[in-house]
Structure 1
Amino acid sequence: MQKEKINQESLPEQDLQEILSKYDKEASYRTFTGIMKWIVTIGAISFSLFQLYTAIFGNLASQLQRSIHLTFALGLIFLLYPISNKLRKKKLPIYDVILTIVSIVVGLYWTFQYEELINRAGMYNTLDFIVGGLAILLVLEASRRVVGVPITIIAILFLLYALYGRYMPGFLEHRGVSLERLISHMYYTLDGILGTPLSVSATFIFLFLLFGAFLEKSGVGQYFNDLALLIAGRSVGGPAKVAVFSSALQGMISGSSVANVVTSGSFTIPMMKKSGYRREFAGAVEAAASTGGQLMPPIMGAAAFLMAEFTGIPYWDIAKAAAIPAILYFTGIWIIVHFEAKRTGLRGLTKEELPDKKEVLKKLHLLIPIIVIIALMSMGFTPIRSALLGILSIIVVAAFRKDTRMTIKDIFEALANGARTALGVAAATACAGIIVGVVTLTGLGLKFANGLIDLSGGNLILTLVFTMIASLILGMGSPTTANYIITSTMAAPAIILLLSDPSASEIPATVLLSAHMFAFYFGIIADITPPVALAAFAATGISGGNPIRTGVEASRLAIAAFLIPYIFVFSPSLFLIDTTFVQAAMVIITSIIGMTGLGAGAIGYFRCNMNIFERLLGIVGGLLLIYPGGFTDLIGLGLLAVLLASQIMKSKKQNYSPMNA
């Protein structure tokens, strides 16, 4: 089959793993053989079984649930992740064995001392302080290994700020915190390491990562590629559109932009290059689309679950609110890809290059678990219950056909893989808990918010720009979860203060969503924003293109992601909250038309090549249509009508054939 020929063009698995390890710390783990392989596998499976048990029969007390979750995570991290990538050997050094044992002892301290710690809350002894201090050090080192140095440095700076706040200048000054109080706050309250971020990791996030691991094991990953080929392969610029469609779906399996790039890019990037796309453009398409996978409902990135906990807004409401912005994001990429293909005369794939239609349709049942998840959450089921039933549905649905049926071995491998993918999130949320703990202990969040407002002179646009810059800088070395936690804690309150009515008794959901979604969006697209654009750089490992140019191209493709957050802050009707069906339909239609004009202006082609004036018409008209409002829509439509008329006259004059949309 031709599909086999296409797949053979993908890079070897070993090369892909090297690329993934280079740009994604979470992928740089040891691979064991023999007895150590069994120990790690059993530990990972036990981790997943613990999470499933507590999800089915009810979570334990908060301190126990979170500390046991942390125990599993730290123990597995020190077994799997070396002190340095250069030391990534199969042999386990003795110091990592010691760190694993200490992690288990420290983590289970809460389990064996639970009643005593609760009864004498606030009255801690020397042993408590030693264990708490070790917990902080272990979390910092585990985060450094699996997440990266930047987030660890940030957490250390926050700890130093708590201890030496009396020496800080201006509004940052505070009276300082004793070491004993800092340790007790970090490990013996629910405002530090065991705080809300780790709570979300220990409940919602883990189960949805496990859902993704089961999806992948059932063969859905490859099926997404085949389905994308069937739907988009033959259209103009087909290979790039396949990348967009496939990567949007792959986001439901992996919460990592880099992992998405390497997984689907190993298939799509060689196909795009073969079709005539430039190396940088091919890599940029994959990077931009893979990064957007975390924005796409119903299963968004891990930070979306944190947003639900921080704002008190149900996850399903957040997913619904994110739907239009996500559609606009991928529509923008799709449109730019289409116009680039038209401009350069690139064809789609031939019928012979596509997978067999009947074979693809026979496996359509593999999409049922995703429909199950959507249906359950829309009916009011909790995310935990929805994820559990979703996992069960994967096993049942995969059994419909012999070639997709999961064996006992497949189920155990999915349990182990799900636990391993959760390690990075557990470490990031535990480390971010240190940052949040310092914020609550010192009142830094409100101080920073007021300082940000003072710096911007109370100007909302400047505050948004400062928040965007902070998110992009943090995103250069921090995962989306940690990035979102920091910016939502430090910067989002400033946006909320400027958007809120001081006389109101409570903050409206639209205001909370606008501020938090703003931080969420820019935390994610940091992965494709130069100078450190990890997703784009990973794509160049496959495409062979220039990393910076690929990052610039990816940013251009993802132009919607840089604009939409500003638009929904000023006009939250994009979230479709308290809107009628007609209003929602109008927002969707005008926004998509607007993205068409914006995409044409960005690429410089509509029905034929565009001059500067026409590009400005497309960009301005597109922006006005994306911004919800009757008056702006009318002006936007008028500008695009002028653009269309100009392009029709030019295409006739130059004897261009009409565009096949």
Structure 2
Amino acid sequence: MSSAQNQPEGRQFTDEELQDLVASADSGGRDPSNRAVALLIAVVAFAWSAFQIWIADLQFQWAQHIPFVRVIGSDMTRPMHLTFALFLAFLAYPAFKTSPRRYIPWYDWILAVLAAGCAFYIFWFARELSSTARSGLPTQQQIIVGTIGLVLLLEASRRALGPALTIVGGIFLAYSYFGQGWLIPDLIAHQGRNFEAIINTQWLSTEGVFGIPLGVSTAFVFLFVLFGALLDKAGAGNYFIKMAFAGLGHLRGGPAKAAVVGSGATGLISGSSIANVVTTGTFTIPLMKRVGFTSEKAGAVEVSSSVNGQIMPPVMGAAAFLMVEFVGISYLEVIKHAFIPAVISYIALIYIVHLEALKNGIPALGQGASLLQMLLKTAIGFVVAGAAFYGVIAAIGFLRDVAPAISGPVILIALLGIYLACLWVASGRPELELDDPNNKKIVLPVMREVVPTGLHFILPIVVLVWFLMVERQSPAKSAYFAVLVMLFIILTQRPIKALMRGEGNIIGELRRGVGDLVDGMITGARNMIGIAVATGAAGVIVATVTRTPIGTELAGLVELLAFGNLFLMLLLVGLFSLVLGLGLPTTANYIVVSSLMASVVVSLGAQEGLLVPLIAAHLFVFYFGLMADVTPPVGLASFAASAVSGGDPIKTGFQAFFYSLRTLALPFLFIYNPTLILYGVDLGTTAGVLQAVLIFFIATFAMLLFAAATQGYFLARSKLHESVALLLVAFTLFVPNFWLDRIQPEFERMAGTSFEEVLSAAAPGDQLRLEIRGPDFATGQMRSTTLVLDVDDTPGAQRLADTGLFLMPEDDRMVLDEPMFGSPFQRALGGYDFYGRQQVELQYVLRPADRMPEQLFYIPALLLLFGVILLQRRRQTQPAF
């Protein structure tokens, strides 16, 4: 991306330069002219994809039948994954922008072999390492290999991702080694670790480079990236963009709305905001400019929608899979929590574009259409699709009950029949061609003509969702089956359509299908180079956090800077996440900010009596870290958009940041009201589903009002007091409990000495809170925290014993001894000193208070909204939708 940043402002890149921009950022900008070298890179990339498909499931199947085939575990798959990535990184990414791109210098060959060899060493000597280095007895040879490997990994990170992650990783290694100094605050200082111990942790063990982040990249991320590459190579990317323009192009600001939806759809499969900007932006940005958007606003719309693709399930820029490991919940739970914020953020962005069109009098392309009618049709389409999906679930369930022995073959035959039927429909239509956005005559696609041409692209997505949601398979297994379906489609779609059309060149079309498959496998692997290197390098930071005090004491530093104010603490954490994410791709970005900041949000909230779910904290830092792709001075996606639009990159970045305010507001909202991420909502019950639907509609309505307030336009241009009123209404709809807490306390506060009595009398399902105060084990300073105790149907006399708490009443105080090992609160209270001069005390027990429903505050909010509507109706000059 550095090349983009150094270009003169206002310059519009050519198509060739844009493709080079994407390649430089995502797959490597080197394109060797020597056919043998180019073939070697392609073969290694293809082999990497084949290896990933093999370890996903095939090795388990073949090992049952072939004696010499054995299953390899994560201690070997992770090093092999990084071996491929490092070898390709030094061959595909030039060292500097002045380095040759048409050939590979001799020193890059040496570095590629050395780096890959250091990773392959961990693969080949996995058993020996388990009895030496991983038992705390590394050999001198292992230390040398680890040192070289770590240095070359950071260099590969610099080449593939820019200097940000390399610098951060270097700082963390220096902090781990020195431990103290004038640059290191006393709060996080430590004695320092010796060189051999650092190398052992970072390269030879499974804590650092070969830890959880790289494991997620190996097991999950690669298959999803490969799936996206195959879909795009098959033509699904162009199909989604055509669908977006067919559905939205006729509306006011239609190209911008289509950019939002098209970028959202491609963002689901691309995993890269930069590639997303260039892929969809080359078509959408020129059209936005032609209907009246400035270069900066056109670029900003594309940036906002492309970056938003990274918060949209199921992939979320690979963060969804990392959250599974870091938070300790299932993949489906992550999707459940992330879905509503992502969807309402996209809906609000479409509305922001609509308001821009109204403010600036931007017309529709061709005959105008109604946004409300489009939304209604979309809602009906979702309902019909949902009903059909549940019908298929019921039919397959019935088949498995009636004839379990033949259910598998019948389902496969039915899937094949549907696929052939989709191809038969598609064969009756001409192939979708890429449109020229600079064509003087704009012809928008027609939905009924576009939809039939790519129905078969929906099948692998349905297979993915089916295995994830219905079969409850792991993300890796689900992606594996989706990739197999995609491989079959990309190989057969061309020859089958040629056969159905009566064309004679079936062998030629089959060869083209094989070519598409090979290209897709190679593209998927090359797109993974940066992600694999990023997760490996980010593992350095994760290991440092776990091996030094910075992970536990950072909360104290943030609290000190925020003067104990919770909202200011959240602002600081958000700012830190934004700064830490500068210049980092989505995956590395999330690993870095979550490792440092997620636990800070939870612990600081607990100290202030706000119990923040861990998933909410992870989503909070993820959202803020992701905004680094938008925000100047780095803003990689903004620079990419300005390269397409010819606009000023800094102005584009600031405009995109302004459009993204809704995305920055969401993290604060679901910290204070976790029901927005469906926390505590049981979707397995009818009541839970209805509650989720209600939350979605209320949150969507509130977010639209927030968008109107920040854009200064609702039914007409808003005056300052009207914008403030809209913000107040939106806030009340989002967090009605804020006002209720001002009037009636949420909990009844009782002395700690009454804990046993309150616990015995509590009804099953009640939730008690315990306010604990005592000396910190590390600093000796007094600190407080709040614990949650969910009351179950255990008999009252047994409940206290089940908590694992040891109570020692002293006069009017309830003193605590160290909790029983393995008990629910043992880890939560592990940071307290139970053997110091000052004692740990249970100060208060809080039980839910009886109070009025929080939804009553919707009434004054809606009345205030009605007042704003009355005021603006007098000035309204055009329809609101």
Structure 1 CA distance, aligned partners of 2:483 and 2:735?
A: 39
Counterpart position of 1:54: 55
Contact 2:30 2:101 in 1 (8 A): no
Q: Report how far residue 634 of structure 1 moved.
A: 3.1
Determine if the alignment matches structure 1 residue 382 to structure 2 residue 477.
no
Counterpart position of 2:156: 142
Counterpart position of 1:646: 871
Alignment of 1:414-493 (within 5 A): 414-493=520-599
Counterpart position of 1:197: 213
What SS does the aligned partner of 1:633 have?
A: helix
Counterpart position of 1:79: 91
Structure 1 CA distance, aligned partners of 2:858 and 2:640?
A: 39
Determine if the alignment matches structure 1 residue 268 to structure 2 residue 284.
yes
1:489-529 residue CA offsets vs partner (Å, 9 max, x unmatched): 111111111334899xxx99x71111100011111122112
Q: Which one is further off, 422-431 or 477-486?
A: 477-486
With over 3 angstroms needed to count, the CA separation of the structure-2 counterparts of 1:116 and 1:34, relative to structure 1, is same
Q: Report how far residue 236 of structure 1 moved.
A: 1.5
Structure 1 CA distance, aligned partners of 2:352 and 2:303?
A: 14
Counterpart position of 1:658: 879
Structure 2 CA distance, aligned partners of 1:65 and 1:46?
A: 14
Counterpart position of 2:691: 583
Counterpart position of 1:3: none
Determine if the alignment matches structure 1 residue 568 to structure 2 residue 670.
yes
Contact 2:32 2:104 in 1 (8 A): no
Identity of aligned residues (%): 37
Structure 1 CA distance, aligned partners of 2:631 and 2:250?
A: 31
Q: Report how far residue 30 of structure 1 moved.
A: 3.6
Q: Report how far residue 144 of structure 1 moved.
A: 0.7
Structure 1 CA distance, aligned partners of 2:461 and 2:731?
A: 33
Q: Which one is further off, 44-53 or 299-308?
A: 299-308
Counterpart position of 2:239: 223
Counterpart position of 2:516: 410
Counterpart position of 2:630: 528
1:239-281 residue CA offsets vs partner (Å, 9 max, x unmatched): 1100000001111221111111011000100010111111111
> Which residue identity lines up with residue 536 of structure 1 in the other structure?
S
Q: Report how far residue 36 of structure 1 moved.
A: 0.4
1:582-639 residue CA offsets vs partner (Å, 9 max, x unmatched): 3222211122221222222222222222222222222222232233652453343222
Determine if the alignment matches structure 1 residue 339 to structure 2 residue 355.
yes
Determine if the alignment matches structure 1 residue 15 to structure 2 residue 110.
no
> Which residue identity lines up with residue 172 of structure 2 in the other structure?
F
Richer in helix (by share): 1
Structure 1 CA distance, aligned partners of 2:581 and 2:280?
A: 22
Equivalent of 2:104, from 70, 79, 92? 92
> Which residue identity lines up with residue 146 of structure 1 in the other structure?
A
Counterpart position of 2:307: 291
> Which residue identity lines up with residue 355 of structure 1 in the other structure?
P
With over 3 angstroms needed to count, the CA separation of the structure-2 counterparts of 1:624 and 1:28, relative to structure 1, is farther
What SS does the aligned partner of 1:129 have?
A: helix
In the alignment of these two chains, the number of paired residues is 642
Equivalent of 1:161, from 156, 175, 192? 175
Structure 1 CA distance, aligned partners of 2:148 and 2:277?
A: 37
Contact 2:260 2:301 in 1 (8 A): yes
Structure 2 CA distance, aligned partners of 1:395 and 1:111?
A: 29
What SS does the aligned partner of 2:874 have?
A: helix
What SS does the aligned partner of 1:208 have?
A: helix
With over 3 angstroms needed to count, the CA separation of the structure-2 counterparts of 1:92 and 1:343, relative to structure 1, is same
RMSD: 2.2
Alignment of 1:96-245 (within 5 A): 96-120=108-132, 121-167=135-181, 168-245=184-261
Alignment of 1:36-55 (within 5 A): 36-55=37-56
TM-score normalised to structure 2 length:
0.70
> Which residue identity lines up with residue 136 of structure 1 in the other structure?
L
With over 3 angstroms needed to count, the CA separation of the structure-2 counterparts of 1:131 and 1:543, relative to structure 1, is same
Q: Which one is further off, 165-174 or 243-252?
A: 165-174
Q: Which one is further off, 276-285 or 340-349?
A: 340-349
> Which residue identity lines up with residue 596 of structure 1 in the other structure?
L
TM-score normalised to structure 1 length:
0.93
Alignment of 1:350-365 (within 5 A): 350=366, 353-362=443-452, 363-365=454-456
Q: Report how far residue 355 of structure 1 moved.
A: 1.6
Contact 1:460 1:495 in 2 (8 A): no
Counterpart position of 2:859: 634
Name structure 1 gaps, 5 residues minimum.
1-9
Contact 1:624 1:635 in 2 (8 A): no
Q: Report how far residue 32 of structure 1 moved.
A: 4.4
Contact 2:33 2:103 in 1 (8 A): yes
Q: Which one is further off, 130-139 or 472-481?
A: 472-481
What SS does the aligned partner of 1:253 have?
A: helix
What SS does the aligned partner of 1:466 have?
A: helix
With over 3 angstroms needed to count, the CA separation of the structure-2 counterparts of 1:645 and 1:418, relative to structure 1, is same
Contact 2:28 2:93 in 1 (8 A): no
What SS does the aligned partner of 1:252 have?
A: helix
Structure 1 CA distance, aligned partners of 2:657 and 2:469?
A: 33
1:62-101 residue CA offsets vs partner (Å, 9 max, x unmatched): 2211111111110111111111122142111111111111
With CA pairs under 8 Å and 6+ residues apart, which has the higher RCO, 1 or 2?
1
Q: Report how far residue 467 of structure 1 moved.
A: 1.3
Q: Which one is further off, 638-647 or 153-162?
A: 638-647
Larger radius of gyration: 2
Determine if the alignment matches structure 1 residue 64 to structure 2 residue 166.
no
1:203-250 residue CA offsets vs partner (Å, 9 max, x unmatched): 101111011111111101101110001111111111110000000111
Q: Report how far residue 472 of structure 1 moved.
A: 1.2
Counterpart position of 1:5: none
1:153-175 residue CA offsets vs partner (Å, 9 max, x unmatched): 11111111111114344112111
Contact 1:499 1:511 in 2 (8 A): no
Counterpart position of 1:7: none
Determine if the alignment matches structure 1 residue 393 to structure 2 residue 485.
yes
> Which residue identity lines up with residue 162 of structure 1 in the other structure?
S
Richer in strand (by share): 2
Contact 2:188 2:549 in 1 (8 A): no
What SS does the aligned partner of 2:316 have?
A: coil
> Which residue identity lines up with residue 13 of structure 1 in the other structure?
D
Structure 2 CA distance, aligned partners of 1:628 and 1:142?
A: 49
Structure 2 CA distance, aligned partners of 1:292 and 1:272?
A: 19
Contact 1:163 1:177 in 2 (8 A): yes
1:286-331 residue CA offsets vs partner (Å, 9 max, x unmatched): 0000000011122321122111111111122111211110112111
Structure 2 CA distance, aligned partners of 1:435 and 1:418?
A: 27
> Which residue identity lines up with residue 126 of structure 1 in the other structure?
Q
Q: Which one is further off, 76-85 or 457-466?
A: 457-466
Q: Report how far residue 476 of structure 1 moved.
A: 1.9
Q: Report how far residue 347 of structure 1 moved.
A: 1.8
Structure 2 CA distance, aligned partners of 1:63 and 1:135?
A: 17
> Which residue identity lines up with residue 597 of structure 2 in the other structure?
A
Counterpart position of 1:6: none
Counterpart position of 2:382: none
Structure 1 CA distance, aligned partners of 2:497 and 2:443?
A: 26
Counterpart position of 2:659: 557
> Which residue identity lines up with residue 648 of structure 1 in the other structure?
R
Q: Which one is further off, 243-252 or 607-616?
A: 607-616
> Which residue identity lines up with residue 394 of structure 1 in the other structure?
M
Equivalent of 1:602, from 707, 710, 735? 710
Structure 1 CA distance, aligned partners of 2:212 and 2:724?
A: 46
With over 3 angstroms needed to count, the CA separation of the structure-2 counterparts of 1:299 and 1:487, relative to structure 1, is closer
Structure 2 CA distance, aligned partners of 1:110 and 1:89?
A: 31
With over 3 angstroms needed to count, the CA separation of the structure-2 counterparts of 1:635 and 1:514, relative to structure 1, is farther
